[in-house]
Amino acid sequence: MNIRLLRFLALAAFVPLPAAADLIANGGFEQGIFTGGISLAQQIQPGDSTLPNWTVSNAPVTWYTSGWNNNLPQIPLNPRTGSFGVNLADGSVNFVRISETINLLPFQQYQLSFWVGNFSANNGPAGLNVNISDGTSNTILVSEALAPATNGSHTWTRFAFNFIADGTSNTISFSEINGPSYIGLDDVSVTAVPEPATWAMMILGFAGVGFMAYRRKSKPALMAA
């Protein structure tokens, strides 16, 4: 094998892969004009644009901030990160639905990642329906995400689903599937899954390093013979 190629592969093995860009905007719900005041929470009505990049439908979603207020005991679940999160438990017959539409490359594999929060007062799991559809309303992914019951004050559980986009416009949506008092949602992200060719380059790089080490080790023995 050409020594220059080996050197290139060796260098490639130590070049870190770039971090995948998050394609969801405002996935941590940190952007927007918060007017919750001392109540630490506010209701965002269907069709309201208070929460940038997200569309609320069917029933109001609760946008809340860190802290505890005895006047609003239904939000004891602190956001997982940052200062804000949303609670998808509406407490009515209308299930909350929150969604965001993003542009993706067709036939590219992506990973949807998010965290679901549960609180001990639920006395059971807290769950969401997850749905991804393309621009013609074809369903790409539908699944459930159930955060287990907690014995402590609260807990956050991460969920991740891989999917392949079949169109440029795709809508990611979340809705409640059971009726507890708290269903937290935070840190939503969509990132591209690395192509097999990228991993192949990494493997070749490591193979090149191993081959060069083998040649250096075996060369003195050949000269002595």
pLDDT at 46: 94
- DSSP category for residue 169: E
What number is the average pLDDT over the span 161-165?
A: 95
Query: Whole-structure pTM over 0.85, yes or no?
Result: no
57-103 pLDDT, tens per residue?
989 999 998 765 544 444 567 899 999 999 998 776 678 899 999 99
- How many C-beta atoms surround the C-beta of residue 169 within 10 A? 13
Question: What tokens does 219 get?
Answer: 């060369």
Fold for the domain defined by 19-193? Jelly Rolls (2.60.120)
Cα angle: 32, vertex 78, 22; to 5 degrees: 50
